[in-house]
Structure 1
Amino acid sequence: MSTTPELHSDIDLRELVISLLAGDEDVATVNARATDMVYRSEVRTAAEELAHVAFVRGDRAALHTAHWVLSDIYEWCFSLPSIDQVDSLVSEILDDIRTVLENAMLADLRGKLDDGGLDSAPQDPESFLPWYRNFISSHRASNHPFYRDFLENRASVEDIRFYLAQETSLDPRFDDILSLLTVGTDGSEKMELVTNLWDELGNGSPDEVHTAVFAKTLADAGVSKSFVDTNIMLESLICGNVSAALALSRRHCYKAFGYFGVTEYLTPRRFRSYIVGCKRMGLPKSSYVYHDQHIQIDARHGPAWFKNILLPVISREPRCASDIALGTVMRLETSAWYLDALQAKLEPAG
């Protein structure tokens, strides 16, 4: 975990967020701070300073800190509040920090994307789907050597353990993400999202809920929370934070439809490579039962996502095609960066 970089503000955002989430101060104290506009302004200023150093100046230590802060806040967003905090206004302070860092993160990402192909994205729904499939399939993230070569042929048991730790940035909350994407949808979009969610929930069987199966996979592999916190890469945090940002903010819902459509489409082929590697090493089925489930399920959900979500959404509002396309490239590019970093970490050149 990176240390906090030298900043001018007297407020250490990471320490502040950890303290707020831990409930170190009573509700009355937190609420007094939340209604103190001078204090709120100081917090926003500290967030803006961190955002500038991290995302404009590109300081890697600051970047780690910014993404850890966002990751902590997103973890809170996807959790039930403590009964001791139900009357707390802590969300108002956290939202100030989140808004500043999230906007800076997405602006930085937008500036780094290789989005030259987006100009060709059609607004006609019947033309969009073939373009969308081809755009995904032709991107280097679609057939990345980390999966098709390294995992299948050379990864060790420790490499698998490290890889599983990185995957915790998205997999444990995907059912909640689907729930959030369902809000406000109608017709085939809602039905597809709910069908997908029901599969994530093990079709009503608690033991088959995918988050529970994934948690067991982690436990069997010895991937504890402390192991994750110690070993998770910056690129993994970025993927998880972008995923959370798109799911939680309604203004990004069309980007999210494109972004998570890529996830559904690529999961089966990626997880097949993972299973090939596990079988090569003679690992027990418990190490890949989660992945085997998703191969079967997402083979259906990928094409259905295109047909039942993207097609009707663009048919109703053609202008959203550009946002869907942007979300698509956001997922592909961040995924490629993540896999590049993962392979470089586990199989350094030379």
Structure 2
Amino acid sequence: MATQPEHRRSQFLQQDFQEELSFWNRHRLAPGFPDAATPSQLDRDRSMLRLEHAFMEELRAQVMADAAQAPTDPDGFINWFEGLKATGPGQHDRLFPWLAEEADRDELRWFLSQEAAGEAGFDDLVAMTQVKLPARAKLELARNYWDEMGRGNPKGMHGPMLGQLVDILELDTQIHHTVWESLALANAMTAMAASRCYAWHSVGALGVIELTAPDRSAHTAKALRRIGLSGSERRYFDLHAVLDVKHSRDWNDEAIRPLVEEDPRRATAMAEGALIRLHCGARCFSRYRAHLGVV
């Protein structure tokens, strides 16, 4: 008997829910004032936190068996983790060579609109994740965060680089115009960083972004070069095609390895986080290919 796609069986892998969660995340993470903490808002926050947790537990259930196969000794886990670059879900997806070689300007604009709208903000995710981590891992996340912040130079901040590209290409990043797969990726990353019960998951998820982003960034940068964008205009992707190679090596050596050395249980949690992130990305790539007609 044929099975239904996972999104048809889930109350969470749906457009309406992911939009609602996205709007709530924007509201709860935005700086505010005490008078916004009304009884009705606190009730809504409690309700949304329960739904967010259920969403995350559904994502965990989808990867737990595979994550349980990851070694829990430091050397074995690092080897397993680094192997995700070659064999992890969504890796070497045919979408990216197609973007680099064939996509026209409007197709690239649609793709980048989805990616920008689903960007949870790597700098903020790192900042939330590092709270109360052991010192060695905390220092590595601090170094990574400082790079994301342009080492104190506003022109070098990674977030505004992406914002510049949004403005140059006039991208549409409205939540209502973003596919649920992209929203789900951002919402999952936000949940792992913001909820301390998923802190180790977040370390794994952020680490696997650094591990796998360079190839995709290089293809995207090539596409932007092909349609005529200058070096400064495509700098966000050119930078991540190179810098994340070092970030990944340092993250694995200075954050993941010592965390596993201290407590092997963290390896399984980080494996789950990494696989959740990769599966969310793979869903995005599949949806993007379907929309763009990439065969």
Q: Aligned match of 2:60 in 110, 117, 123? A: 110
Where relative contact order (Cα < 8 A, 6+ residues apart) is larger, the structure is 2
Q: Which residue number corresponds to residue 49 of structure 2?
A: 99
Using a 3 Å threshold, how does the CA distance of structure 1 residues 85 and 209 change in structure 2: closer, same or farther? farther
Give distance in 2, aligned partners of 1:145 and 1:171: 21
Point out where structure 2 has 5 or more consecutive residues left out of the alignment. Answer: 1-5
Q: Aligned match of 1:201 in 132, 135, 149? A: 149
Point out where structure 1 has 5 or more consecutive residues left out of the alignment. Answer: 1-53
Q: Which residue number corresponds to residue 145 of structure 1?
A: 94
The 8 Å contact of residues 67 and 237 in structure 1, kept in 2 or not, is answered as: yes
Using a 3 Å threshold, how does the CA distance of structure 1 residues 85 and 223 change in structure 2: closer, same or farther? farther
Alpha-carbon displacement from aligned partner over 1:310-334 (angstroms, at most 9, x marks no partner): 1011111111111111111111111
Using a 3 Å threshold, how does the CA distance of structure 1 residues 265 and 135 change in structure 2: closer, same or farther? closer
Q: Aligned match of 1:76 in 27, 36, 39? A: 27
Q: Aligned match of 2:132 in 176, 184, 188? A: 184
Q: Does 1:67 align with 2:15?
A: no
Q: Aligned match of 1:304 in 226, 250, 253? A: 250
2:68 alignment partner, SS class:
helix
Give distance in 2, aligned partners of 1:270 and 1:141: 11
In structure 1, give the amino acid aligned to 2:107.
D
Alpha-carbon displacement from aligned partner over 1:60-105 (angstroms, at most 9, x marks no partner): 9x92221111101111232111x47456456522322222221221
Show the 5 A alignment for 1:13-24.
none
Q: Aligned match of 1:131 in 69, 80, 84? A: 80
Q: Which residue number corresponds to residue 288 of structure 1?
A: 234
Q: Aligned match of 1:270 in 216, 233, 236? A: 216
Give distance in 2, aligned partners of 1:171 and 1:78: 14
Shift of residue 281, structure 1, vs aligned partner: 2.3
2:91 alignment partner, SS class:
helix
Q: Does 1:121 align with 2:67?
A: no
Give distance in 2, aligned partners of 1:322 and 1:87: 36
1:141 alignment partner, SS class:
coil
Give distance in 1, aligned partners of 2:39 and 2:258: 39
In structure 1, give the amino acid aligned to 2:213.
T
The 8 Å contact of residues 120 and 187 in structure 2, kept in 1 or not, is answered as: no
Give distance in 2, aligned partners of 1:304 and 1:270: 20
Equivalent residues, number: 290
RMSD, matched Cα? 2.3
The 8 Å contact of residues 221 and 287 in structure 1, kept in 2 or not, is answered as: no
Give distance in 1, aligned partners of 2:58 and 2:120: 26
Q: Which residue number corresponds to residue 200 of structure 2?
A: 254
Give distance in 2, aligned partners of 1:98 and 1:111: 20
Q: Which residue number corresponds to residue 343 of structure 1?
A: 289
Q: Which residue number corresponds to residue 3 of structure 2?
A: none
Give distance in 2, aligned partners of 1:146 and 1:275: 14
1:222 alignment partner, SS class:
coil
**TM-score, normalised to structure 2's length?**
0.90
The 8 Å contact of residues 78 and 176 in structure 1, kept in 2 or not, is answered as: no
| Identity across the alignment (%) | 24
Alpha-carbon displacement from aligned partner over 1:8-65 (angstroms, at most 9, x marks no partner): xxxxxxxxxxxxxxxxxxxxxxxxxxxxxxxxxxxxxxxxxxxxxx9895469x9222
Using a 3 Å threshold, how does the CA distance of structure 1 residues 281 and 97 change in structure 2: closer, same or farther? same
1:338 alignment partner, SS class:
helix
In structure 1, give the amino acid aligned to 2:292.
L
Shift of residue 343, structure 1, vs aligned partner: 1.2
The 8 Å contact of residues 162 and 231 in structure 1, kept in 2 or not, is answered as: no
Q: Does 1:318 align with 2:268?
A: no
2:247 alignment partner, SS class:
helix
Q: Does 1:163 align with 2:83?
A: no
Q: Which residue number corresponds to residue 45 of structure 1?
A: none
Shift of residue 140, structure 1, vs aligned partner: 4.1
